[in-house]
Structure 1
Amino acid sequence: MRHPAIPKPSGSGMSPELIAYSALGIAAAVLAVIGVFTAVRYLRADGETRASLRLASRIRRTWRRSAPPLGLAVIDRTPTTTAQLTAKTGQRPEPRTRIPAITTRPDRTGVSVRMKTVAGIGLDEVAAQARHLADLWGCARVSVAPDGPGRLLVRAVRIDPLAAKTRYRPGLTVPATLRVWPMGEDEYAKPVAAALSNVPGIAVAGLPGYGKTSLVNSLIGRFAPSDVVQFAVADGKAETADAGDYADIAPRLFAFAGDDLAEANKLFIRLVKLRRDRYNAMRRALGTANLWDVNPSAAWPLVVLVIDEAHTFFSQPKGSDKRSRELAALAAENARLVDDLIRKGRSVGFVTIVITQKPTGDAIPTSIRDNCGIRISFAQTTQEAAVAALGDDIRLWPDANPVGLQDPAYLGVASMRIQGQEGFTRVRMPEVTPADTAKVAAATAHLTADPATLLPHGDGPDPVDFTKAA
């Protein structure tokens, strides 16, 4: 039986040559689009970003050639299935050189290189070559950090972020969270933030004029627009609230004490009482023993106490006369009260910031200093002061030692230990002028409230208007 003939499709279809030309045309179009995008991106970038774009291109272009001499390549002698099938009879496939694959992302200060590890080349191997990579790429420094399973983030910094002064102008925007405090950028131009949640105290040290006051201005300017934060200050450099570094932010303070030990003692007693009353009322009112489980609120605000020139309130005066004994007793009582706030204030939403030049044991009691969860130091003149400020571990990190920050170029740069990160990091803190902070404090003065008046029994004193102080 004969089957009917199947009709041939009309036309002869695309020839292999036409298919090849079409593929080449599509590839050329794609390359043209990529080229136009790259050119437009380059032309629209500023000068620093253009330099980083050129660096990123050079890193990608030379990576396969530069990685093997640095030991960042491995010889894989196990042939793939494809190599085995295509090898000539009797011949063993050639071993492969495996190099970590990379992608680049440039910015104004450098290039972030994301790298896929291969067997035998991981964090330790790449980190050991960081200095050589910096020399090869012409960078100020190169850092290497984990970036997820099987991945690394290599940060190539062209210009030193620590040497470039920055400025922060606080506005009236309410911060999105109170759990972290954005502080600045590290030496690899990566943002650095300090935790405020579940942190009982912050110790800040450093020479005069190197950034301690600006750091506090940054904190107050950033968080003052929120009614979920209330501030108190004990300033060992001033007699009244209308004098000294905190005069301009007085409208945003619910409590203030100057350098008089008895006045400071009253303030510390008042805050310890608030701490106890909060603890007694919190579980019943909020259903938790830790305020950070539910986050601070306008009714249960975060209380930030700044103690500037803290040694003024804790140092034991010399002398055996009656007045010296009275001052010594006040200093000892002040130390006990502040120690109470730091040891017990974390769960009830207290953060105490202790500021001094040189936090040695004779200036700041070690029970206060060592219980601060965050320790920051601007420039120091001696190794003793650096150890007092940051702990004995700073000896193991000479590159981050604050003794090396005495250069005027490093005004506003501090060394600190960042939670979850090994060792110490140098951080460029942005300058915040008193005038900018004063504008924010004046505009947000109506948010000032004594946290004691917000408790269920509400028997705390009303906030004092320090702007009318005599």
Structure 2
Amino acid sequence: MEAVTGYESYALPIATALVGLWLLVTVGRYVRADKGTRVSMRQAVRVRWGWVRLARMAGLTVTDKTPSLLAQITAQKDSPPPTPRVLTPKIKVRPDQFGVIVRARTLPQVGLEEYQKSARFLADAWRCTRVSVLPDGPGRVVIRGVRSDPLTTPTRHRPTGRPPADLTRWELGVDEYAAKVCVSLANVPGVTVAGVPGAGKTSGVNKFVCDFAPSAAVQFAGADGKVSQASEGDYADLVKRMFAFCGDDLDEANALFKRLVELRRRRSATIRDVLGVKNMWHVGPSPEWPLTVLIIDEAHTYFREYKGSDPTTKRLAALTAENARLVEDLVKKGRSVGILVILISQKTTGDAIPTFIRDVCPIGLSFAQKTAEAAVAALGEDIRNWPDASPVTLQDPAYVGVAVMAMQGRPGYTRIRTPYVSDADAARVAEDTSHLTADPDLRLDALLHSTSGTATPAPSLTK
């Protein structure tokens, strides 16, 4: 006891020092934070201090009539029964630029459904634009409250120039609750991107190229139907990172598509012998067997149906029909050998992108659209059942860069704010990574030579 008493004189200074250190760290974080995060930090304090009262008013508490163990031990024989306890879920609050993230415990009769029913009350009390409640593991929920709308807050992405840690992960942006949205590219043969001019399609694709360009295990080819040569248009800065590129010339596009179908056939014929698997995604892309991405912008240019009886029109009609057949081959058969096709068009209706190509692309993005028919073509008939998420509602200039897509594991459709990538950043990344550009055909030749000493000839494209 004397030893304990001897330490009492140190207790107050130690406690004071710890409190001072905590205040110093908190003030430092507050000073370094941006303006939005500072507001959220003050909001987080209000959420913590007012939680017990708010939980009782919102019906998120439960009354426990069973006395605690201590009350049972200390209770006298003739004493009145103890007052029932009101249990309040414990919470942890974390602020960020857009609002607060609250992780809460569940209680008997206060589960996920009760939290979701109270979401609108929580939004009003916390002064949030919207609040979502999702499960966070057994006995836990995560409550996301956004004070400012992430969809109308423009964001900018500056590429790091470093190879991505996971080549199957495509980071699109943030949803309406400022949560990161990512999709898996593994076993994905095709992606469609739709939207009116100036809605953000090209910037979204630029981010994709800039993020994956630093990896030698990814190679790009491009076809831009709104330019005549590589020095024009939106991809002029990225051409250095592409092993092949063509403009609106149908003959050049046809030659590019044939070249990639030939690569697909060679890969299909040799994948077991070279990689030891039937599906490239079982081992992942590599510099020797790179993920080959074909970007087709203004895709309707290459698939348009020409009608007429004169020789020129007939020739163009034959070219576009063959282009559709070749791209169909890549989308339907290129998945397992590591070929991904990204098709971009203002409208992905059947006259722009043939349905036998569009409907086998598992990922569909739609930026702003003017008509419900265009939204249905891009996202499917079910978008009619979710009018609040329709891309038709994104025509306001504040929504430039916002896309809609169906996410696996989520009901309905998700609205995503894609970040803007400047032309200067795109040019910088393409210049810095241009030395990584390589023809996948030549890489395959080298790989076959190293494994068997001979290169397998390409199957003929003509029957």
TM-score, normalization by structure 2: 0.90
The answer to whether the aligner puts 1:74 opposite 2:74 as a matched pair is no
Shift, 1:36, TM fit: 4.0
Q: Which amino acid aligns with 2:33?
A: A
Answer with 246-255 or 75-84: which moved more. Answer: 75-84
Give the aligned partner of residue 413 of structure 1.
402
Describe how 1:203-352 pairs up with structure 2 within 5 A: 203-352=192-341
> Could you tell me how far apart the structure 2 residues matched to 1:37 and 1:234 are?
53
Q: Which residue in the other structure is 1:3 paired with?
A: none
Q: Deviations over 1:399-421 (max 9, x none)?
A: 32111111111111111223333
2:90 and 2:4 map into 1 onto residues whose CA distance is 37
Structure 2: runs of 5 or more not aligned:
449-454, 459-463
Alignment partner for residue 87 of structure 2, among 98, 118, 121? 98
State the distance in 2 between where 1:434 and 1:25 align.
57
Distance 1:294 1:100 in 2: 45
Residue 100 of structure 1, CA deviation: 1.6
- The secondary structure found in structure 1 opposite 2:238 is helix
User: Is the counterpart of residue 55 in structure 1 residue 43 in structure 2?
Assistant: yes
Deviations 1:169-222 (A, max 9, x none): 234322222111222222222222222222111110001011111112111122
Q: Deviations over 1:390-442 (max 9, x none)?
A: 11222233332111111111111111223333322111111112332123222
Q: Helix, strand or coil: the match of 1:281?
A: helix
* 1:349-407 CA-partner distances (Å, limit 9, x unpaired): 11110101111122212222121121111111111111111112222333321111111
Correspondent of 2:145 among 156, 165, 190: 156
SS in 2 for 1:67: helix
CA change 1:207–1:175 in 2 (3 A) is same
Query: How many Å apart are 1:284 and its aligned residue?
Result: 0.5
Alignment of 1:12-91 (within 5 A): 13=2, 30-89=18-77, 91=80
Any idea what the Cα deviations from partners look like across 1:252-289, whole Å, max 9, x if unmatched? 21122222333222221211111111111111011111
User: Does residue 368 of structure 1 match 2:360?
Assistant: no
Query: Which residue in the other structure is 2:387 paired with?
Result: 398
Q: Distance in 2 between matches of 1:336 and 1:73?
A: 62
**Counterparts of 2:81 and 2:204, CA distance in 1:** 66
Q: Helix, strand or coil for the counterpart of 1:248?
A: coil
Identity %: 56
Cα separation, 2, equivalents of 1:78 and 1:252: 69
Partner in structure 2 of residue 463 of structure 1: none
State how far apart, in whole Å, the 2-side matches of 1:14 and 1:440 are: 66
The DSSP-based 3-state class of the residue aligned with 2:375 is helix
Q: Tell me the residue number matched to 1:172.
A: 161
Total equivalences in the alignment: 448
SS of residue paired to 2:151 = coil
Mean Cα deviation higher: 213-222 or 302-311: 213-222
CA contact (8 A) 1:170 1:222 kept: yes
Distance 1:64 1:343, change over 3 A: same
1:305/1:351 contact within 8 Å kept: yes
Structure-1 separation of matches of 2:435 and 2:408: 34
Q: Could you tell me which amino acid in structure 1 is paired with residue 245 of structure 2?
A: F
Q: Unmatched 5+ residue regions in structure 1?
A: 1-11, 461-470
Q: CA 1:324–1:15 in 2, change beyond 3 Å: closer, same or farther?
A: closer
* Inter-partner Cα distance in structure 1 for 2:77 and 2:370: 74
What code does the residue aligned with 2:143 have? V
- Alpha-carbon distance between aligned partners in 2 of 1:439 and 1:29, rounded to the nearest angstrom: 49
Give the whole-Å Cα distance in 1 for the aligned partners of 2:7 and 2:200: 67
1:327 counterpart letter in structure 2: L
1:189 pairs with 2:178:
yes
Q: Where does residue 451 of structure 2 map in the other structure? A: none
Q: Is the 8 A contact 1:452 1:459 kept in 2?
A: no
Contact 1:145–1:152 (8 Å) recurs in 2:
yes
1:383 maps to amino acid: A
Q: Is the 8 A contact 1:162 1:427 kept in 2?
A: yes
Relative to structure 1, the CA distance from residue 36 to residue 397 in structure 2 (aligned partners, 3 Å threshold; closer, same or farther) is same
Indicate the SS of the match to 2:240: helix
Residue 135 in structure 1 maps to residue 146 in structure 2: no
SS in 1 for 2:237: helix
Partner Cα separation in structure 1 for residue 419 and residue 208 of structure 2: 11
Measure, in 2, the Cα distance between the counterparts of 1:444 and 1:39.
41
Q: 1:83 to 1:354 in 2, by over 3 A?
A: same
| 2:266 and 2:456 in contact (8 A); partners too | no
AA partner of residue 278 (structure 2): A
